[in-house]
Amino acid sequence: MGLRVGEPFVIIPAIDLRDGKCVRLLQGDYARETIYGEDPVEMALRWEAEGASRLHVVDLDAARTGEPVNLAWIRRIAAALRIPVQTGGGIRSRDAAARVLDAGVERAVVGTTAARDPDTAAALFGELGDRLILGLDARNGRVAVAGWREDSGWDVLELAQRLQEAGARRVVFTDIATDGTGDGPSLESTRRLAASLAIPVIASGGIGSLEHIVRVAELAPAGVEGVIVGRALYTGAVLLPEALARVRNA
């Protein structure tokens, strides 16, 4: 599936929350954390001011525990912004999804439950429709769950196709091996996933330069509608206004 004619490719800044701080992990390892800010709302407003049309927020504490540890921060971020927010981490039930959506978030990302209980995920997709995103986090082609600590046993393409049939409307795909490294995105695995589906894919992981973003944007005809960028924005390796202009004019 390709994007509709005239539909813009979206660059989505990421805010990862741990203990109320903006952090980034290296390859999903909680022991390899870098703190980039003490005020998530201030950071969110910065990305909006620099031109972001959407924000991606992850509750890293909830991803491990299943409890909405940073929900109050997510609510503050959503209230402070004019742009829509999507959030993931620990959303493993209808009630958890409802809490996040009631906090002002436009879309919730469900990952662990989708892999552990596809039938429950299917019911959620049927009820929430476009307000729910399928999150697929891959390690060596297999879906990882519970804050990336466990192997679900699912092949990425197999689970994606099953949940597309069950009503998933879009996918956020992360290759854990590249996440936080800045060494470049997993272009081939992203392209392969998008080509196997009729729903749009948002790429995540490995962005370390403007050229990396451009290369992901080149996958738009295959159905990749956007890319999530984290560490590269915080280090200054990528300047958001420049990246937005480059993709817009490509």
* Residue 102 annotated in active site: no
How many alpha carbons lie under 13 Å from residue 151 in its C-beta half-sphere? 6
Mean pLDDT score across all residues of the chain: 89
Each residue's pLDDT tens digit, 68-79: 789 999 999 999
Q: Whole-angstrom Cα distance, residue 59 to residue 12? A: 16
152-163 tens-digit pLDDT: 678 899 999 999
Active site residue 16: yes
Q: What structural domains does the chain harbor?
A: 10-248 (3.20.20.70)
> Tens digit of pLDDT for each residue in 86-133?
999 989 888 999 999 999 999 999 988 888 888 889 999 999 999 999
Angle (CA) 58 62 171, round 5°: 45
Q: Which two tokens stand for residue 57?
A: 């927020």
Nearest to 237 by CA among 217, 211, 216: 211
The pTM for the full model equals: 0.91
pLDDT at 23 over 90: no
- Place 5 in a pLDDT band, splitting at 50, 70 and 90: very low
Catalytic one of 16, 59, 61, 179:
16
Kindly name the residue from 95, 117, 119, 137 that is annotated as catalytic: 137
How much of the chain, in percent, has pLDDT values that exceed 90? 64
The amino acid that residue 212 corresponds to is: H
Query: What's the mean pLDDT in 175-193?
Result: 85
CA separation (Å) from 35 to 7, 131, 209, 223, 234?
34, 30, 20, 33, 10
Q: What is the pLDDT of residue 202?
A: 97
